[in-house]
């Protein structure tokens, strides 16, 4: 039988908080999500108190984990900065205490500060890169997965982290539905498919739960997926970012140790404006933009192969030139890409000798070339 919300609350009631009262009476708990043995909640405290609360977070996680019927637990410590209060302590440099990441969702980082100074690397992972888009529905996740597969085809060891907390699509795109197991150190073991190490928030919580998360919870959950997962040795970890350029995305871009970002846009003007915002966001936090990909660039008829520029193709290339960032390539709007994606058989894997796989591999080649130094150094 799987655990109930009440059982979780009963176990938390036995934990004393630094405020001298039971954790359940300290006014810090988010709603508890408990379904199918998967439990997720957060402890929301002021950033200045984050360090004091980490042992409580760990105690709460251990208490819930020991309940019968619990298979996965994620307890996030989300630290919000009160207006006018002192800045939060920087994230702990060692990864000995997973799960604490003081975040300040309402005070986005300002330019000039080196993100690398604030971020600790993921052991064994040479380069973490983001695939981002200014808005949803432009094919960001499809591009992220096929780019990861293109990098795999170039002989690299690749992982994929689906951090699109507002609509995790990696379970659909990969056909994976299993729950990750824990290793001897209680780290989650990423699922494996197509030769990739894959992790998605969609493996852990129901989609509706993720939808209601606020910025700090997003950051905390993504931090846990980065640090509490046994990624093993990887050349590149591709992070499928949540779409948009709001505070949650900005905080993520700053706190994930990114070596670069790929921006996906469609040729429509509106989407390009959003892509420009994405570009500005990464520049603000000093993450190099590896380039822009134009997705759904032109329509290619599945029957006769004729190309039609239904969205006025070429906008992203022009934009990239104007903004001085590499243009990585054009991916057509094609039935085969949609059908393979939605059936859990991404085109680079299912049609490796086809024209679409060749396009994704060419994009991957450019990304690999830009990361060569980092990968070689690792």
- Give dist(CA 232, CA 155) in Å, integer: 16
In the complex with ligand ADP, which residue's Cβ is closer, 127 or 331?
331
The piece of 44-52, 76-84, 251-259, 330-338 that touches ligand ADP (CB under 6 A) is 330-338
| Residue-wise DSSP of 290-308 | EEEEEEEEEEE-TTT--EE
Q: Which stretch binds ligand ADP (CB under 6 A): 95-103, 227-235, 321-329, 337-345?
A: 337-345
The string over 24-54, giving b where at least 16 C-beta atoms fall within 10 Å of a residue's C-beta and e elsewhere, is bebebbbebbbeebbbbbbbbbbbbbbbebb
Q: Is 138 in the site for ligand ADP (CB under 6 A)?
A: yes
Among residue numbers 157 through 196, which ones bind ligand ADP (CB under 6 A)?
A: 169
Instruction: Pick the binder of ligand ADP from 136, 314, 354, 365 (CB under 6 A).
Output: 136
Q: Does 338 bind ligand ADP (CB under 6 A)?
A: yes
137 binds ligand ADP (CB under 6 A): yes
Interaction between residue 200 and ligand ADP (CB under 6 A) = no
- Torsion angle defined by CA atoms of residues 64, 76, 94 and 250, in that order, rounded to the nearest 10 degrees: 160
**Residue 333 binds ligand ADP, judged by CB under 6 A:** yes
Which residue number, 11 or 133, has a Cβ lying nearer to ligand ADP? 133
Q: Choose one: 68-76, 229-237, 274-282, 334-342; the region binding ligand ADP (CB under 6 A).
A: 334-342
Residue 292 in contact with residue 275, Cβ under 8 Å? yes
Q: By CB under 6 A, what part of segment 231-260 binds ligand ADP? A: 243
139 in contact with ligand ADP (CB under 6 A): yes
Q: Which of 78, 101, 133, 370 binds ligand ADP (CB under 6 A)?
A: 133
Tokens in use for 308?
């039609």
Q: Which of 259, 284, 334, 368 binds ligand ADP (CB under 6 A)?
A: 334
Task: Kindly give, in sequence order, each residue whose CB lies less than 8 Å from that of residue 311, ignoring residues fewer than 6 positions away.
Answer: 266, 267, 268, 296, 297, 298
| Phi and psi angles of residue 259, each rounded to the nearest 5 degrees, phi first | -95, -10
Tokens in use for 20?
Answer: 């001298």
d(CA 217, CA 357): 36
Site string for ligand ADP, 281-300 (x = CB under 6 A): --------------xx----
Contacts with 212 (C-beta within 8 Å, 6 or more apart), sequence order: none
Q: Which residues bind ligand ADP (CB under 6 A)?
A: 133, 136-142, 169, 243, 295-296, 331, 333-334, 337-338, 341-342
């Amino acid at each position: 039988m799987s655990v109930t919300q009440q059982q979780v609350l009963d176990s938390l009631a036995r934990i004393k908080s630094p405020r001298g009262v039971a954790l359940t009476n300290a006014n810090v708990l988010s709603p508890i999500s408990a379904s199918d043995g998967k439990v997720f909640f957060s402890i929301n405290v002021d950033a200045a108190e984050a360090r004091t609360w980490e042992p409580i977070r760990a105690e709460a996680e251990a208490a819930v984990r020991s309940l019968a019927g619990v298979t996965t637990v994620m307890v996030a410590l989300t630290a919000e900065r009160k207006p006018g209060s002192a800045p939060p302590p920087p994230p702990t440099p060692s990864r000995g205490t997973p799960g604490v990441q003081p975040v300040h969702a309402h005070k986005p980082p300002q330019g000039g500060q080196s993100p690398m100074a604030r971020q600790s690397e993921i052991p064994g992972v040479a380069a973490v890169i983001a695939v981002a888009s200014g808005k949803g529905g432009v094919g960001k996740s499809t591009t992220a997965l096929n780019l990861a597969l293109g990098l795999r085809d170039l002989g690299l060891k690749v992982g994929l982290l689906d951090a699109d907390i507002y609509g995790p699509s990696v379970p659909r795109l990969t056909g994976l539905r299993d729950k990750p197991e824990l290793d001897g150190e209680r780290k989650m073991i990423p699922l494996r498919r197509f030769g990739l190490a894959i992790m998605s928030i969609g493996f852990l919580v129901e989609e509706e739960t993720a939808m209601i998360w606020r910025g700090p919870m997003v950051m905390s959950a993504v931090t846990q997926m980065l640090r509490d997962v046994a990624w093993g040795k990887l050349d590149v970890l591709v992070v499928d970012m949540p779409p948009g350029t709001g505070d949650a995305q900005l905080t993520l871009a700053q706190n994930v140790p990114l070596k670069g970002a790929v921006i996906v846009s469609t040729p429509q003007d509106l989407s390009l404006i959003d892509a420009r915002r994405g570009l500005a966001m990464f520049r603000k936090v000093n993450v190099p933009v590896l380039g822009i990909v134009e997705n759904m660039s032109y329509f290619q008829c599945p029957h006769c192969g004729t190309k039609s520029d239904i969205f006025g193709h070429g906008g992203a290339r022009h934009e990239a030139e104007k903004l001085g960032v590499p243009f990585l390539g054009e991916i057509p709007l094609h039935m085969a890409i949609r059908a393979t994606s939605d059936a859990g058989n991404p085109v680079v894997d299912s049609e490796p000798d086809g024209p679409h796989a060749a396009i994704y591999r060419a994009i991957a080649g450019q990304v690999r070339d830009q990361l060569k130094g980092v990968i070689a150094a690792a």
